Chains A and B, each alone.
Chain A
């Protein structure tokens, strides 16, 4: 009986499968094609070749050359290194500060703190482009242009991240805080020794999403990183695409390089990534 009805169910699902196959193909194809294009030369790409070629090393060599000719002290390694360094620094500081705030807002909450939190949420509506000019002026007064501090200061405290930790702190067992206090633990010790280990899945999700955002950041880094050797992969991509004659093989090789870290994170930590996206709205 079960077998027959299950095959009937599968037959009814055929339109769903067809729809999913089409959507999946459309979703994956441009990424697949980017990878194959990175191994082809411009002529083959223009001809519409969609399979792997043998130009990968040639493209890589031209990419390394093009990256080195962006200005004094530039190289592909430099741009990748900058992107990694800024993204790591931003991730660590962001999850530390925002978890501390989420912990404070939720587990020590009172009326005044709840009200303050509502005010902070309004920062979500502030358009990035509106704060660009004042922030740029502020950073140049502080001497933070072309520095990691300038890159990350506007991004290490976000209402979204604080909200994520605040929401998830609701599942934190409050009883053990009382027990810890009776044992003589300070409020800071409770945060470091109990909150952090218990909340580690929230930390993982927050770290993944923050790293992705920092790695992919574009508008603000383009404003604050005026020196070529301080710029990131995203800015290199833009610069490479600005010539009159574009070497598409080289460009797709650059896109591939820029996408490898985020792709690895996506495949290895997809669950945390999905949790990080939706984390604040449970």
Chain B
């Protein structure tokens, strides 16, 4: 008995050793910098000449609310979020539902093609879209060829269309990615449930709403959290597709934080940290709400 105790204690200790390196790294590379970011966020000034804010929370109570570009970047980010995430998730569920049908031919081929945008990096696809939507680009010459427009549209040089191109790009890049989650989720649902529904005479829409969506609910909540988190942190697209333009009207929060911290000759580390902390709070609050909503059991 006594010997067995020492053996299990020894094993438990071994467990701690195994998880220690990765755990320590997360504390050093995520939690500790987060605390430091908060401390820095209480400072003002630039470069190496940072000094404590007066009052201490001046960045939060005065500078951020008065910063029109930050407010606009927040508006942009939420605009992308509200339009892109629902369209993308609904499309992804629909595609998964269709591709889960065993009567469908070429399922593997279709799945591969829809999933393919995930094979290119964010920077790459941003540049592909930038080239497609350039003033002298394929989209314009196609629309001209079809006679739909009479002169080239300046897609990326106009606020509304620049934002739209970012949203189109996001939907293009991430729909297949989310579909993979739903396909995996659907594989856990017994296929016989669908066959029973078919025998009972339920049509496609009915099976979709009454079987697929309720059974996929945990997956939907999770993909929603991930998409919200990702969109709130949107950076690569804003930098490479529109460069925040025209005149910062399509810029995202992370991009603006970057510019304030690492932009040429700026170095507002305190202020940038304060803004990034605001992003953190938004991510945390939205994730919490999402989990609450997803948790309501009937």
Contacts and interface: CB of A to CB of B under 8 A. Distances in A.
Given A45-B138, A223-B262, A13 B103 contact: yes
22 contacts: A16-B104, A23-B95, A26-B172, A48-B141, A110-B12, A110-B15, A123-B26, A126-B31, A127-B254, A127-B279, A127-B283, A132-B276, A133-B37, A133-B276, A154-B29, A154-B30, A216-B121, A218-B236, A219-B254, A238-B239, A259-B124, A281-B181
B14 interface: yes
Contacts of A28: 113, 116
A137 B119 CA distance: 33
Given A101-B22, A113-B19, A138-B33, 17 more contacts: A27-B172, A30-B128, A33-B132, A45-B138, A46-B136, A48-B141, A113-B15, A113-B16, A125-B229, A125-B280, A130-B37, A130-B279, A157-B26, A157-B29, A191-B18, A263-B120, A270-B112
Interface stretch (A52-60, A66-74, A196-204, A248-256): A248-256
Interface string B175-198: 111001101100000000000000
Contacts of B94: 19
A24 B23 contact: no
B101 A13 contact: yes
Contact of B30 (A110, A126, A259): A126
A266 B18 contact: no
A180 interface: no
A194 interface: no
Nearest to A24: B113
B279 A129 contact: yes
A274 B184 contact: yes
Contact of A48 (B31, B117, B138): B138
Contact of B22 (A100, A133, A241): A100
Contacts of B254: 127-129, 219
A221 to B, nearest CB: 11
B270 to A, nearest CB: 9
B63 interface: no
Given A48-B138, A125-B284, A223-B262, A108 B18 contact: yes
The SS class assigned to the B binding surface is: helix
A23 B92 CA distance: 11
B162 to A, nearest CB: 16
A contacts with B: majority SS = helix
Given A45-B138, A252-B131, A104 B18 contact: yes
A158 B30 CA distance: 9
Contacts of A158: 26
A107 B19 CA distance: 11
Interface in A117-147: 120, 123-135, 137-138
B123 interface: yes
Q: Which of A27, A28, A153, A215 has the most C-beta atoms of chain B within 10 angstroms of its own C-beta?
A: A27
Interface in A224-282: 234, 237-238, 241, 248, 251-252, 255, 258-259, 262-263, 265-267, 270, 273-274, 277-278, 281-282
B137 interface: yes
Nearest to A16: B98
